Amino acid sequence: MKLKTLGLIHTSATLVPIFQQLCSDLLPEVSVFNIVDDSLIKDVIAKNQLTNHTARRVVNHVGSAEEAGADLIMVTCSSIGAAVEASAKLTNVPVLRVDQAMAEQAVRTGSKIGVIATLPTTLEPTSDLVRRMALQAGKEIDLTAKLCEGAFEALMTGNPEKHDEMVSQALIELSQKVDVIVLAQASMSRVVETLAPEHKIVPILASPGIAVARIAELRKASSYE
């Protein structure tokens, strides 16, 4: 099967241009379409969990993407990862979590792994995924999960400078304790670019670029030829 059409499902419209550029660079011959529903992440945040109702809606969106002609589907929100995995069992085309390739790379990179997030609803699903990827790889890891409390609220209330300052400080502190850092939210990746060279002492991984690069690798594999 050839990968001709990629369906992307987002919980924020801000991610559309980011993935559009990545796909243009790494998957130039692939047609890409987007499904955006920010009510999904709003519900997860409001209820502080992924409910069965919201998970079912994720499954429905994945089904719609398959019906729209996607040869492969990726969901770009880490908070709803459990629903993405459930969707994969109900779909006839591959369905990927945006953070899976990143988690696998983190496990390959080091044994002391830091996971950082500004939302608890994202921190735990990503941490759980890293643990499962380590178990699957047969590798013992020491995972440190760090929540930047108040950073997300600062961003949502129009104070991105405070958000960036809090995330930056957390990254600097965490880098002293681990071999590699995983960003549970793609929105934090811009902060990495502002860090001084002396503070970038360990790899800091963000999911979008790693995920699209993985799809490009899959496209070259025999199953997609």
Inter-residue contact 178 to 114 (CB < 8 Å): yes
Q: Please state the pTM of the whole predicted model.
A: 0.89
Inter-residue contact 167 to 152 (CB < 8 Å): no
Cα separation of 148 and 167, whole Å?
6
Reading the chain (225 residues) residue by residue, the pLDDT tens digits are 588 999 999 998 888 998 999 999 999 999 999 999 999 999 998 998 999 999 999 999 999 999 999 999 999 998 898 899 999 999 999 999 999 999 999 999 999 999 999 888 889 999 999 999 999 999 999 999 999 988 888 887 888 889 899 999 999 999 999 999 999 987 788 788 888 888 889 999 999 999 999 999 988 874 444
Cα separation of 118 and 120, whole Å?
7
The per-residue pLDDT for 225 is: 43
Cα separation of 11 and 98, whole Å?
12
* DSSP string of 19-56, one letter each residue: HHHHHHHH-TTSEEEEEE-THHHHHHHHHTS--HHHHH
Cα separation of 176 and 11, whole Å?
32
